[in-house]
Chains A and B, each alone.
Chain A
Amino acid sequence: MQDAIVELAGARKVFASPEGGEVKALDNIYLDVRRNEFLTLLGPSGCGKTTLLQSIGGFVRLDAGTISIDGADMTRVPPHLRPVNTVFQNYALFPHMSVEQNVGYALEVRGIPARERREKVGAALVMVGLGGMEKRRPNQLSGGQQQRVALARAIVARPKLLLLDEPLSALDRGLRHSMQIELKNLQNELGISFVFVTHDKEEALTMSDRIAVLKHGRIQQIAAPREIYDRPANPFVASFIGVSNMFEGSIDSGSLVMDRGETLQLGRTLQDCKGRATAVIRPEQFSLSFEQDTRAGIDVTIDQVIFVGAGFELYARTRGGRELVVSAPASARDDVARAESDRRARLIYVPANIHLMPGEGGSQ
């Protein structure tokens, strides 16, 4: 795989948990980070995503497995000799140094002369939109500015790979969104790979070329955002990425039979499957109807309708008591109004669009 900048093979790391047991932070991880790729490690806290990032940075020593960066084995190489820089979660700016000294630190320790250093620092600061702030101290900057200094500091030495450990989690919502876009642009501009850790699925979906979803130290799925969203590999990924409507049951002659006798028609390609499975129908894949016809549909009562600006969200309930979420565009205003006043409707779906996953349980 010559287009991989980082290769992890069979990486394992076990920590002693505070309760006395063991926690598998990394459980036999195989991961390639491609060149010029924005890869996001996504998962709930404790899933091992930060450990994975730190093992690339060199702060965590693997119990087993190897890691190579740009073709060179880095498994036992200490952090300061790796061609990798990190943007830390709390920024970790040196409080006793000015912005210029902070950003120039990586160049200084490499013995780069002051003149060249000043130029590069200036360029890096301009790149993150902080030109002219050289003489300030970190504590004189806002959270967003500190964030940018940390970014400039990490890119000034042109690492082969930039690691970002939940760098946006401390920023407020609006700032976070604009930083997401800037980060993505910066990555394009620099032409290096970013490995980004987050527990925020919106962030992951917005910025990434690929997303790796982790749970209990294992990679659950690694794919492009759309793929992850449309075709989650298992119920955990589906629920973590925010899929609402999941149906568990067993497949029987072309339909999914659920526990309370409800059934779901499956598309032709899924006719031959067998066993237990979970089906996904996303909220926007339903359409509202009020007629009984031959189309596949579910009869529901409507509990609540919420206006969400771009459209509506309907909270519905099947006869078996299963709760469903339906989203309807603003153009379906009349149907929504009728559903709200009737308090009942029929949800039409296209069997061929149903995504089926092996296994059970939407909850983690």
Chain B
Amino acid sequence: MSLNWLFRGGLVAYTALFFAFIYLPLALIAVYSFNSNPVNMMTWEGFTTDWYWQVLGFKTTVSEAAMYIESTGQLLAALRNSIVIAFSTTLISTVLGTALALALYRYDFLGARTYRVLMFMPMLVPDIVLGIALLIFFVNAGVHLGIGTIIIGQCTFLISYVFIVVSSRLAGMDRSLEHASADLGANEWVTFRKVVLPQLMPGVMGGALLAFIISMDDLVITYFIAGTDVTTLPIFIFAMLRRGIKPEINAIAVMMLTFSFLVASLGLYLRSRQK
């Protein structure tokens, strides 16, 4: 009995440690983003919200030396690029990936198996390889690197993600429902609209959400094919990090964390409600 308690205590302790490992660093950065020490970010000096105001472009008492050269404008431009790119890639990859999944679900054609295997390739190819392959391709093809190439590049692997999410939804669908619909007098199109599509929608929405999140966060592939004039949010932060760390970046990081936590919680909450 006491061994059992020990065992249970161990389990709880391990789980606590596990989550501490995941979340303590994030909590730490959240706390230090309010630290007023402009020189050493990790030495607590006092509470301030200046870094946030600074990032958002308001006048603060922070001295010039403690700030990045970039203006808030650049940050917002990067954010805007990221959002434009994410919406475009989500739209394209959701349409193409869903169409592909439906084709493989409805038709048992020659080569369907090969298709299924090939669709995993863009996910499995290491992103740095895909990134440089696209770079060589676009440069050789004489395409100007920019938002267009980023959208195309991200879609190559996002189609796979959407395809896999939608396919798994389709695989879980009961084929006899379509039979029932036909049996009750609905033709193929009506069956698709009234039976297949409503059940497929959660899968499509899930795939789209996943594509959006991955697109917003993609660094490696975008990094290679962004060219010189376009910056996305992850690339902007990556560049900041490489040049040295200033307290502002804490504030940016915490705002991004908060935003993505909210979006993810909403998404997962909606999904759990559907079940």
Say yes or no: B185 contacts A110, CB within 8 Å: yes
Say yes or no: B176 contacts A106, CB within 8 Å: no
Give the segment of A17-25, A82-90, A212-220, A317-325 that binds chain B: A82-90
* A57 is an interface residue with CB less than 8 A from chain B: yes
B contact residues around A96 at 8 Å (CB): 198-199
* B179 is an interface residue with CB less than 8 A from chain A: yes
Q: Mark each residue of chain B from 13 to 47: 1 if its CB lies under 8 Å from any CB of chain A, else 0.
A: 00000000000000000000000000000000000
Say yes or no: A94 contacts B180, CB within 8 Å: yes
Say yes or no: B180 contacts A88, CB within 8 Å: yes
Q: Mark each residue of chain A from 121 to 160: 1 if its CB lies under 8 Å from any CB of chain B, else 0.
A: 0000000000000000000000000000000011001000
Pick the contact of A80: B176, B177, B186, B194 (CB < 8 A).
B186
B interface residues, tally (CB under 8 Å): 18
Pick the contact of B183: A80, A90, A93, A95 (CB < 8 A).
A80
Given contacts A92-B176, A109-B190, contact A84 B181 (CB under 8 A): no
A contact residues around B184 at 8 Å (CB): 80, 85, 105-106, 109, 153-154, 157
* B64 is an interface residue with CB less than 8 A from chain A: no
State the Cβ distance, B38 to closest chain A Cβ, in Å. Answer: 57
Say yes or no: B185 contacts A109, CB within 8 Å: yes
Interface of chain B, main secondary structure: helix
Q: Which A-chain residue is minimally distant from B178 (CB atoms)?
A: A92
Say yes or no: B185 contacts A88, CB within 8 Å: no
Q: Which A-chain residue is minimally distant from B183 (CB atoms)?
A: A86
Q: Which B-chain residue is minimally distant from A101 (CB atoms)?
A: B194
* B174 is an interface residue with CB less than 8 A from chain A: yes
Q: Which A-chain residue is minimally distant from B199 (CB atoms)?
A: A96
State the Cβ distance, A94 to closest chain B Cβ, in Å. Answer: 6
Pick the contact of B186: A88, A95, A109 (CB < 8 A).
A109
Complexed CA–CA distance, A105 and B180 (Å):
10
* B195 is an interface residue with CB less than 8 A from chain A: yes
* A358 is an interface residue with CB less than 8 A from chain B: no
Q: Which A-chain residue is minimally distant from B197 (CB atoms)?
A: A96
* A79 is an interface residue with CB less than 8 A from chain B: yes
Pick the contact of B179: A88, A95, A153, A154 (CB < 8 A).
A88
Pick the contact of A92: B179, B185, B186, B199 (CB < 8 A).
B179
B contact residues around A92 at 8 Å (CB): 174, 176-177, 179-180
A contact residues around B174 at 8 Å (CB): 90, 92
Q: Which residues of A contact B (CB under 8 A)?
A: 57-59, 78-81, 84-86, 88-90, 92-96, 105-106, 109-110, 153-154, 157
6 contacts between A and B (CB under 8 A): A78-B182, A80-B182, A88-B176, A92-B174, A94-B181, A154-B184
5 nearest CB pairs, A to B: A106-B184, A92-B180, A79-B182, A109-B186, A92-B176
Extra contacts, 17 of them, besides A84-B183, A106-B184, A109-B187 (Cβ < 8 A), are: A59-B183, A79-B179, A80-B181, A80-B182, A80-B183, A80-B187, A86-B183, A88-B180, A88-B183, A90-B174, A92-B180, A93-B180, A94-B177, A94-B195, A105-B194, A109-B194, A157-B184
